[in-house]
Each structure stands twice: as C-alpha cells, then as structure tokens.
Structure 1
C-alpha cells in the first residue's frame, strides 16, 4: 500500500506492506521535490511523473493520503489541492482506492496522541517500523505514518463496510406486518 503526504514543493511518498496483526513492513520512502520558481503546470507534471513511476514500480493496491485541511494560508492550500488532485487521478487511472486521513487521525493512530509533534511522530514511526534511523526528510516520515495509519485502520473500515452492507440488505427486506395493525 502507498502512503502519500501531498505537497507541491515537497511530496512524501511511501510504500509499506501490512504484515500479521499490527506489523507493517517498510518497502520504500522518499520525497518528490519541485522548484518553487517553476510554472505550476511543470510542477504538477513532475509530481504526476513521479507518482506514476512509484505506482508502476511498487504496484500498490491501495493509496492513503493526508486529507487536505485549511492551514490559514489560502495559497498553500490551493497548491496542495492541486497536488492532491494529481495523486488521486493517478490512483483512479489504475483503479486503486484512495483513503484520506486528517493529520490528527494519523497522529492518534501512530502515537496515541492526536496532537503529537513531529519529533514524537518520527520516534514512533522509527520504532513501529523497526528502522535503524529516523526516516528523513520529514515528508517521507509523514508518508510512512499515513501508510501505517491506514494499515491499522483498514480492518475497521472493512468491518464498517460489511456492517453497512448488512444494514443495506436488511433495509431492503420487506417489513413484517404486525398482527392487529
């Protein structure tokens, strides 16, 4: 599965494999950088080429990304939104489902604290994945954290979908008439 920390200047990418229980095996992590002085179209094209190359190389069956949220700077949000669009489109072209998580959901899943700082998150990701050194740069560590979050939450998502399916089937059945009604 692929974890993505979307960004226009720096986009973190990771690939992990879910093991038994809560085991997550890191396969790759890195950052795609685009020059801030380049045209938007050129930057998006570079991101697109990089994510397509990662998807071709690693063949992920699912993509997890950080959900876009308003950070106070509209320009930053818009640039990040462009990057998110490129990543979602790349997954859609391959029929790969995309799941999105807020930063606090990722922090809570990985560290147990929805307000954990970057240092706490890096320590936890290093520990969880059994890495010899903290992943660098921070965007790669964030992409790994997003991937771990999804690996750990996916079983609950599947249970929820199964329950929704059961509820949908049950609601389609004809209600029984009560006697005396």
Structure 2
C-alpha cells in the first residue's frame, strides 16, 4: 500500500509518501508545494491543486491522510488554511483516493508517544522510522508523520480519543 500524507497550508503544503508492507514502512518521497505570496488567492489555490495533482499522478498512492484544521488566533489565517485544506481534499478525492483525517495531537502521539511533541522530536523519530530519509523541510516532515500515523492507526483509529 502506498500512502500519501498532507500537511495543508496556503504558504507551504507538505507532502510525504510511504509504502506499507505488513508492518514494514519505507520512505518513497517527500516534498513541499510553495505558493507565491504575491499571487492572488485563486492563483495560489490553482498552484496548490496542480502541483498536488502532479505528485498524486507520479506516485499513484492507494490511500491518503490529511492533518485536520486547527484554529489560529488570527481568523483570517484560519480561513486561508481551510481553503488550502479544501484544495488538498479535492485533489485527493478527484484521484479517487480514500481520505482519512487526523488531529495534530493524535499524529504526534502516534509518532513520538506524546501529543505535545515538538517538531524537532517528530523529525528525530522520522529518521529512526525511515532510516536515511532526507527531509525536504519541516512541512514535508509533518506530512510524512501524517502518512505514518495513518499507516499505523488506520485499522485502530476508533479506540483513540482526540
């Protein structure tokens, strides 16, 4: 099974792809889709959709997971995040992929063992779980964490409390 994980953002959406065979996980690829802050919102959303669609077509995942929206202190930022997340969900659904959604705290708990883990802890654990992985950036690392959490939780998700 090939799983794509997404960490949505209008500025820089991370994507990470892992292969799962039994209980074994292997790194396939990871990257980031950055949009031009000077472009209009519709142009940025089109860029996000086009680049994610290219990644999906290139790697042909069979399953997907997306980090859920959290509420920022700035309502405008939350709205922009929601719009970018909507584009992510659309790209996955258009490709016919099943989409699972996970809260950030649950992803952190699945990767590090605590829902309050810092980014550095997540990245360190990714290097343990995926030896030799070269991370394209913090957002790509977060997306790989989403994919790995899904790989490990997809059959048992109902027993976890968010």
TM-score scaled to structure 1, two decimals? 0.82
1:112 aligned partner: 113
Contiguous gaps of at least 5 residues in structure 1: 161-181
Provide the C-alpha distance between the structure 2 equivalents of 1:78 and 1:131, rounded to a whole number of angstroms. Answer: 37
User: What does residue 129 of structure 2 align with?
Assistant: 128
What's the C-alpha RMSD, in Å, of the aligned pairs?
Answer: 1.2
Q: CA–CA distance in 2 between the matches of 1:67 and 1:44?
A: 18
Partner of 2:29: 28
Q: How many residues align?
A: 156
Give the superposition deviation at 1:35. 1.2
Residue matched to 2:40 = 39
Q: Does 1:2 align with 2:4?
A: yes
* CA positional deviation for 1:66: 0.5
Higher strand proportion (structure 1 or 2): 2
Mapped to 2, the partners of 1:76 and 1:16 lie a distance apart of 29
Q: Equivalent residue for 2:18? A: 16
- Could you say what secondary structure the match of 1:155 adopts? coil
Q: Secondary structure at the match of 1:75?
A: helix
Question: 1:138, 1:92 → 2: CA distance?
Answer: 25
Measure the CA separation in 2 of the matches of 1:16 and 1:151: 9
Matches within 5 A, 1:85-104: 85-104=86-105
Give TM-score scaled by structure 2 length: 0.92
Distance in structure 1 (CA, Å) of the matches to 2:45 and 2:86:
9
For 1:18 and 1:132, the matched residues in 2 are separated by 16
Instruction: For residue 132 of structure 1, report the CA deviation from its aligned partner.
Output: 5.2
- Note the residue ranges of structure 2 that are not aligned, 5 or more in a row: none
For residues 79-90 of structure 1, the aligned pairs below 5 Å read: 79-90=80-91
- In 2, Cα distance between equivalents of 1:121 and 1:132: 13
8 Å contact 2:52–2:88 — kept in the other structure? yes
Q: Which residue of 1 aligns with 2:140?
A: 140
Q: Secondary structure at the match of 2:30?
A: strand
Q: Distance in 2 between matches of 1:100 and 1:89?
A: 13
Runs of 4+ in structure 1 over 6 Å off: none
The 1:5/1:132 distance shift into structure 2, 3 A limit, reads closer
Q: Of the two structures, which has the highest relative contact order with CA contacts closer than 8 Å and spacing of 6 or more? A: 2
